[in-house]
Amino acid sequence: MKLLAIDSSGLVASIAVVEDDKLLGEYTINHKKTHSQTLLPMLDEVVKMLELDLSEIDAIAVSGGPGSFTGLRIGSATAKGLALALDKKIVNVPTVDALAWNMWGNDGIICPLMDARRQQTYTGLYTLENGEFSIVKEQCVVKIQEIVEEINKIGKKVTFLGDGVKVFKDYIQENVEVPFVFAPASLNEQRASSVAVLGMKMFNEGKATEARDHKPNYLRLSQAERERQKKVRDFKIC
Amino acid sequence: MEKEVKILAIESSCDETAAAVVVNGRDVRSNVISSQIDIHTLYGGVVPEIASRNHIERINQVIEEALKKADTTLEEIDAIGVTYGPGLVGALLVGVAEAKALAYAAKKPLIPVHHIEGHISANYIENKELKPPFLCLVVSGGHTHLVKVLDYGKYEILGKTRDDAAGEAFDKVARAIGLGYPGGPKIEKVSHKGNPDAISFPRAKVGKDEYDFSFSGLKSAVLNYLNSCKMKDIEINQADVAASFQKAVSDVLVDHVNHALNEFKMDKFAIAGGVASNGVIREALREACEKKGVEFYHPSPILCTDNGAMIGAAAYYDYLAGIRADLSLNAIPNLKLGEK
């Protein structure tokens, strides 16, 4: 079975193709150009290099959020357009889960941190012990203080990765009470190969959806919705 | 007989997710529009992030329905057209990314379409005999352009708004007099009960660029009037304000069009864009054209609003001109007419 994976949830644009348990190709770019300009030319390059006929693809996995709202939509719209033309299903892979998958084989707790702005982070807690991928805390958007408190409570060694590391590094160094390390550049950011492998697992578990039903999981309302909800709440309190 | 060119067109520049199948630029086989107007009404106007979120949720259904209603398949399509600007960047990007992926996987040429060019081209659909050159006034919530259409895909912009678009002024005034969103249809509806000459609002002239428009002064004049009524404890007649404001907009538009028709001696005039479905404005322009013996064209309301069919019409002429987008096509929120 062949699976195409896309990740444009953060600063990185990444494309990968896996066949069963083999990674056929991966292309990752971390450059100032927008995902809209890079993603399809990158896919085209991978397809050409692999001499791939897109119709051989069995499903498309996309890093479905959280992340940059626009980035998520470029990835999702690309996946939806491909899936519509090829009549394939889409696997919506949780972005933070896929990031944790980068650290496969690591002992202790894995804590991806994505910069969510407004002093928050998209994060979650995972273990990958004895080859078993377990979610300790599902992906969420919280203040850095909150996740660090939980890490201290669990009391195990922790590995941090993600584009949020550079944002929260000082806070982590001052406040984390357990042993910790930061992931190296080769594993630090989103990689479509992780999305692909996790996507394959989810596909086999029957978690693929029709292309038309796919939508990103932002984990956050739009600002207008938040303000409106607050107004409605305040009104009720009065 | 010329070969049939069947285009699938996608539009997502603002708050309508739309797709259509158009043959040879004028024969609309399907025109599917998923409007988000009810959602944005809660916020008193279009919220870009909410619009983008709704586009990504609806886009595949809209495209599938457009193909189905046209009784065709993606394989039978000759090219895919997509709006890449101007508009809300997040909203545009959904359509652009979708169309690129679709065109790439289905191995079809991709045609980048200018949204305003789409509005102008909406006139070709119901008026099979209409051909450039003609004068066109594009008025919508985001745009106010007076354009000489020299040829298919060739435009000379005579004037555009310096500040608010005409439709934007409608929305703002409607909000101020308590009518809510969307302003255009609501103002027109109550205006029929009002006196258009009740209040004298200014008809803005813009310096030496005689074809440019300005509507923010008019909007401020309405707001000042409302304020002064409030101060003096005078009851506001909503219908009179609506009718008088609408008349002021209409007079400015008619004045500019008359001027251009005189100067350039054009014998055909078309109106386009969301505001073109305003009956009062449309009839005033029709009357002005009839007085001069100028042929008057306008699209049906369904083709005035943002839609896929108009993008399909514009895409056809770009297709014939050999215009194609490559895989790096990006959304351009402030794309100028005539730029490619």
User: Residue A8 sits in a domain of what CATH number?
Assistant: 3.30.420.40
From chain A, the residues in CB contact with B53 under 8 A are 69, 73, 215, 218, 222
Any domain includes A152? yes
For B64, which residue in chain A has the nearest alpha carbon?
A: A84
Q: What is the mean pLDDT of residues B3-21?
A: 96
**Together in a domain, A15 and A90:** yes
**Together in a domain, A87 and A166:** no
Alpha carbon distance B193, B196 (integer Å):
10
Q: What is the identity of the amino acid at A153?
A: K
Residue B2: the pLDDT is 66
Any domain includes A232? no
More confident residue, A91 or A118: A91
Question: Quick check: ipTM above 0.90?
Answer: yes
**Together in a domain, A7 and A59:** yes
**Together in a domain, A119 and A82:** no
Any domain includes A28? yes
From chain B, the residues in CB contact with A211 under 8 A are 60
Q: What is the mean pLDDT of residues B209-230?
A: 93
Q: Same CATH fold, B132-298 and B6-121+303-320?
A: yes
**Together in a domain, A72 and A151:** no
Nearest to B96 among A36, A38, A84 (CB): A36
**Together in a domain, A176 and A194:** no
Whether A204 has its CB under 8 Å from any CB of chain B: the answer is no
Q: What residue numbers bound the domain in which A70 lies?
A: 2-95+190-223
| Residues across chain B | 340
For residues B198 and B257, is the Cβ–Cβ distance under 8 A? no
Residues A128-163: tens digit of each pLDDT: 888 888 999 999 999 999 999 999 999 999 999 999
**Together in a domain, A83 and A198:** yes
Phi, psi (degrees; rounded to nearest 5) at A91? -105, 120
Residue A132: the pLDDT is 87
Any domain includes A213? yes
User: Who's near A86: CB < 8 A, 6+ residues apart?
Assistant: A54, A55, A57, A60, B105
Residue A237: the pLDDT is 59
Nearest to B99 among A44, A76, A81 (CB): A81
**Together in a domain, A120 and A59:** no
**Together in a domain, A22 and A82:** yes
Is the confidence at residue A207, as pLDDT, over 60?
Answer: yes
Residue B332: the pLDDT is 97
Any domain includes A199? yes
Residue A230: the pLDDT is 86
Residue A128: the pLDDT is 85
From chain B, the residues in CB contact with A69 under 8 A are 49, 52-53, 90
Nearest-5° Cα angle at A79, A77 to A81: 65
Alpha carbon distance A26, A16 (integer Å):
4
**Together in a domain, A89 and A156:** no
Final residue of a structural domain among A182, A213, A231:
A182
Q: Domain spans of chain B?
A: 6-121+303-320, 132-298
How far A119 CA lies from chain B's nearest CA (Å)? Answer: 21
Is the confidence at residue A231, as pLDDT, over 90?
Answer: no
Q: How many CB pairs under 8 A join A and B?
A: 106
Whether A211 has its CB under 8 Å from any CB of chain B: the answer is yes
Mean confidence (pLDDT) of chain A: 95
Q: Is the overall model pTM greater than 0.90, yes or no?
A: yes
Is the confidence at residue A11, as pLDDT, over 60?
Answer: yes
Mean confidence (pLDDT) of chain B: 95
Residue A131: the pLDDT is 80
Phi, psi (degrees; rounded to nearest 5) at B310? -65, -35
Residues B121-171: tens digit of each pLDDT: 999 999 999 999 999 999 998 899 999 999 999 999 999 999 999 999 999
Is the confidence at residue B221, as pLDDT, over 60?
Answer: yes
**Together in a domain, A83 and A147:** no
How far A74 CA lies from chain B's nearest CA (Å)? Answer: 6
- CATH of range B132-298; options 2.40.10.340, 3.30.420.40, 3.60.15.10, 3.30.1540.20: 3.30.420.40
Question: B282, B274, B283, B280: which is closest to B301 by C-alpha?
Answer: B274
- CATH of range B6-121+303-320; options 3.30.450.20, 3.30.43.10, 3.40.50.300, 3.30.420.40: 3.30.420.40
**Together in a domain, A163 and A137:** yes
Any domain includes A228? no
Residue B209: the pLDDT is 67
Number of domains in chain A: 2
Residue B205: the pLDDT is 75
Q: What is the mean pLDDT of residues B194-214?
A: 87
HSE, CB side, 13 Å, CA atoms: give it for residue A16.
27
Coil vs helix vs strand at B146? strand
